[in-house]
Amino acid sequence: MAAWSCLVTGAGGFLGQRIVHLLAEEKELQEIRVLDKVFKPELLEQFSKLRSKVKVTVLEGDILDKQCLREACQGISAVIHTASIINVHSITQEDSIMKVNLQGTQLMLETSAQENVPIFIYTSSLEVAGPNSYKEVVQNGHEEENRETTWTNPYPYSKKLAEKAVLAANGQTLKDGGTLSTCALRPMYIYGEGSQFLLFHMNRALKNNNTLEKFGQYSVVNPVYVGNVAWAHILALRALRDPKRAPRIQGKFYYISDDTPHQSYVDLNYNLSKEWGFSLQSGMSCPVFLAHWIAFLLEMVSFLLYPIYKYDPPFTRHLVALSNSTFTFSYKKAKQDLGYRPLFSWEEAKQKTSDWIGSLVKEHRTLKTKMQ
């Protein structure tokens, strides 16, 4: 196969950096361009070590900067677009979330067509499908159900519109007369070492005598390890580069899960951290229906205050539904079409994540000792 190159947007992020490391192992890959607004020094050091295998070009720039995108896409064979603002709490930052998640994706698609990039893979989200209510029950859902979120909260709404734009762009004519091939991947809730959501919960627990909060204990979900999501992107890229396999997946979306046991978000946090002495909060928690109505009242307060003050409620009805519903999906179609099988088992993923949590615990203890 001829030499080729790939651009990864959001390459400094939790998922993006893992995609870059797996990409470096791909045959005949000549160059990886990594684009993000800013890169941490330690990550740049990691990327520099990959240069023994492949050329790595670091580009710091804004996903909304057209000139930056043109330079990033010139001569590129494929785009993996992971750049996104992930925010399920805020209802006041709608403008910035919509700009980056939707407008940024549209600009990437336009630039790909202008610069003759034939392959575009989009990192979508489970939230494109829902859940639309805490009462909703979906077990081992699949792509043919065509589920769609009805929430207008910035994150799920922007991801839904962006995914629609990506899939609609499949078959678009490129400037040189070629054709654009697209697909989208919808990962479950992604966990693993470096997860900002896990970091948030662990830090709160560390400040509360290693006690984990119970918010979300009524959910049943199938979380997915970050390494397996990255692997699914590599397989989607291989499939779209294969003329025989590409027609099967062009313009399609795929749910990406793995063999992590179905469990609540609370149980996941506990299973990943119990080795380090974490425990679950005792006592009763707020009933879900009550949390739903409290969230509604808080949203009304935010709406009424908006002309004079931007108030973000501590939680919303969307977050209550997301955190307390039964919402699991099968990766059967990804297995059939992409040849996807998890690269990491549940035991491996759990151990890697637990080891990282252990490093947070040790860091916290060291800091606490210094302050005494």
Q: Any idea which residues carry the catalytic annotation?
A: 155
Phi, psi of 184 (to 5 degrees): -130, 145
Residue 331 CB coordination number (10 Å):
25
| Bridge partner list, 119 | 78, 181
To 5 degrees, how large is the angle CA 6–CA 10–CA 13?
A: 120
Distance, CA of 242 to CA of 42 (rounded, Å): 35
| Bridge partner list, 4 | 29
User: Which two tokens mark 23?
Assistant: 């990409």
For tokens 């040189």, what's the residue?
176
Sheet holding 137-141, edge to edge: 137-141, 326-329, 220-221
DSSP state of 10: T
The CA-atom distances, in angstroms, between 195 and each of 189, 224, 356 are: 10, 12, 10
Answer yes or no: are the C-beta atoms of 225 and 260 closer than 8 Å: yes
Per-residue buried b or exposed e for 85-118, using 16+ beta carbons within 10 Å of the residue's own CB:
bbbbbbbbebeebbebbbebbebbbebbbebbbb
Measuring CA to CA, which residue among 364, 204, 102 is closest to residue 110?
A: 102
The SS3 of residue 139 is strand
Answer yes or no: are the C-beta atoms of 334 and 232 closer than 8 Å: yes
Distance, CA of 110 to CA of 69 (rounded, Å): 10
- ω before 313 within 30° of 0 (cis)? no
User: Which two tokens mark 237?
Assistant: 């890229």
